[in-house]
Amino acid sequence: MCEHDHSTGPVPTAKLERRHVLAGAAALAGLGLAGMVPGVAQAAEHTGKGAPAHAKNRAETTPLIIEGGSLIDPATGNLVEDAVVVLAGGIVQAVGTRDETRKAVASYSANATRIDAQGKFILPGFVDAHVHAQAFEDAALILSHGATTVRSGSTSFYQDIALAKVPNYAPGLTPRMHAAGLFVSPDQSDSILADPDLAPLAAQRHEITDPKDLAYLTGVNIARGATVIKTRANPRAGLAEQDPLELVYDREQLASIVHAAKGAGVLCHSYSAEGIAGAVAAGVKSIEHGVFMDEQTMVRMAQQGTYFTPTLYGIAGMANSSNPVLAERGREYGPVLAEAARAANELGVTVIGGTDSFGTDVTPVGAEAKALADAGLGTLKALQSITTAPAKLLGVDTRGVGRLVRRGVADVVLLGSNPLESAAALVDVHTVVAQGAIVRNDAA
């Protein structure tokens, strides 16, 4: 529900080489100044590359053979009993029946770790399309619930950009991260002082609204390595002092951000019908929250291929707040948003799951999918909302994200029950494999 402030914080100088920017962000993400940063910087001076020479082989993982479970393809809902998945070298070497995987099993069995999946349901790793992970602890909690790929909703520094690099050297430590960098929002405050290239915005630091300034700020994010951009049309619903229906950026302002993003998908925090319509007209890739989305905008979204990330679980959860203003918003917004998700789905809008988890306040992505199922999407669409649908949004469906396919990414989740019978199964996570490494195995 975005009640946190992720628009401020120190920003690395634009003149630093990108490897040093990432090293600094990595330090804030939990690597430690005394350990990671000097090593990377010193080695980079000698090798001319962004990583120590001795780190080249750190991405190696032990082969895994997962066998005996029921394999579900989220794209179709098809189920294969007594299935086998063989993972090695960070990819799926084979997947399917015993006969279809026999050769791969024979090739890797001598050195492989075996996971008995009997009685379990085998699925690809989940995708959480809206998180705010800023440290290793955050990433570990997200992974523990099965989200092996995530889209950042921005961070206070560039921690998400550093986290995106970690799997190359330490498989299973963080999810695959699609990083947003800084929130493109009016109040950048003292973060302006941390980046010489943002100094031209100093006079406007509390109210960055000019389309040219917004384009400039977006460009700094892209230069830092952001692969998606987060902006807003309205203030936060989760801060009692803010009016979530006030218009922050209009169509012209948002269009300047979309243009400056140079193809990086723009996700737009929005609540009001006016704000959502302006964002869709501006060409954003997805609407976040979107409580008061109207039917006309839904139709346009379906036509344009604009995605919808309702964050149902978080919005409805405000009803439990001790703050009376937030509690009332939760009671009002929850049912309206659930109906918007149902209606958008029926009109052909692709609805995707995002938890809006922030720091260690992590919601299982399966809980968001269940909320979508309860809203009327049904079990298969709920499963697709955290697998195939966000994978397509992020352009990684061809790499096997969202499905278990041969030569696809080695991300696997084992559930204790069938998610096509009950979406509650999506929070019944027993085993998680990320980038070929076991990060959770309750049966072990």
DSSP bridge pairs for 126 = 147
Please name the amino acid found at residue 86: V
pTM, two decimals, is 0.89
Count structural domains, the chain. Answer: 3
Query: Which one has a higher pLDDT value, 244 or 46?
Result: 244
Whether 2 maps to a domain, the answer reads no
Q: Examine the pLDDT at 369 and tell me if it is beyond 50.
A: yes
pLDDT-wise least confident of 12-21, 208-217, 302-311: 12-21
Whether 221 maps to a domain, the answer reads yes
Instruction: Give SS3 for 72.
Output: strand
pLDDT band at 199 (very low <50, low <70, confident <90, very high): confident
- 């402030």: which residue's tokens? 5
pLDDT tens figures, 37-47? 333 333 333 33
Whether 12 maps to a domain, the answer reads no
User: Do 166 and 207 fall into the same domain?
Assistant: yes
Q: Residue 144 has which token pair?
A: 């523990």
Ordered DSSP codes for 231-251:
EESS--SSSTTS-TTS-SS-H
Considering only CA atoms, give the Rg of the chain: 22
Distance CA 416, CA 412 (A): 13
User: Do 128 and 248 fall into the same domain?
Assistant: yes
User: Do 160 and 304 fall into the same domain?
Assistant: yes
Instruction: Provide the strand spans (E) within 9-159.
Output: 64-72, 79-88, 91-96, 113-116, 121-124, 126-132, 147-152
Q: What is the CATH number of the domain that holds 98?
A: 2.30.40.10
User: Do 426 and 365 fall into the same domain?
Assistant: no
Query: Which one has a higher pLDDT value, 158 or 367?
Result: 367
Whether 13 maps to a domain, the answer reads no
Cα-Cα-Cα-Cα torsion 23, 27, 32, 34, nearest 10 degrees, comes to: 50
User: Do 118 and 128 fall into the same domain?
Assistant: no
Whether 96 maps to a domain, the answer reads yes
Mean pLDDT for the chain overall: 89
User: Do 76 and 211 fall into the same domain?
Assistant: no
User: Do 68 and 39 fall into the same domain?
Assistant: no
Cα angle value 109/114/116 (rounded, 5°): 135
Q: Contacts by 320-328 with C-beta closer than 8 Å and gap 24+?
A: 323/240, 325/240, 326/3, 326/237, 326/238, 326/240
**Domain boundary pick from 55, 81, 102:** 55
Q: Residue 50 has which token pair?
A: 């962004």
Whether 4 maps to a domain, the answer reads no
Q: What is the CATH number of the domain that holds 344?
A: 3.20.20.140
**Domain boundary pick from 8, 28, 55:** 55
Quick one: pLDDT at residue 1?
Answer: 52
**Domain boundary pick from 6, 32, 55:** 55
CB within 8 Å of 322: residues ≥ 6 apart: none
Domain containing 48: what range? 18-55
User: Do 317 and 296 fall into the same domain?
Assistant: yes
CB 258, CB 265: distance < 8 Å? no
CB 180, CB 160: distance < 8 Å? yes
User: Do 130 and 252 fall into the same domain?
Assistant: yes
Whether 46 maps to a domain, the answer reads yes
User: Do 33 and 110 fall into the same domain?
Assistant: no
User: Do 151 and 221 fall into the same domain?
Assistant: yes
Report the relative pairing of strands 79-88 and 412-415 from DSSP bridges: unpaired
Which of 231, 228, 184, 257 has its CA nearest to residue 396?
228
User: Do 273 and 321 fall into the same domain?
Assistant: yes
Q: List the 147-152 sheet strands across, edge first.
A: 176-178, 147-152, 126-132, 357-358
Question: How big, in percent rounded to 5, are the helix, strand and coil portions of the chain?
Answer: 40, 20, 40
Task: Quickly count: other Cβ atoms within 10 Å of residue 278's Cβ.
Answer: 23
pLDDT tens figures, 134-193? 999 999 999 999 999 999 999 888 899 999 999 999 999 999 999 999 999 999 887 776
Q: Residue 30 has which token pair?
A: 């939990």
Distance CA 183, CA 165 (A): 20
DSSP bridge pairs for 149 = 127, 176
pLDDT tens figures, 70-128? 999 999 999 999 999 999 999 999 999 999 999 999 999 999 999 999 999 999 999 99
Distance CA 390, CA 258 (A): 19
Whether 44 maps to a domain, the answer reads yes
Distance CA 286, CA 258 (A): 11
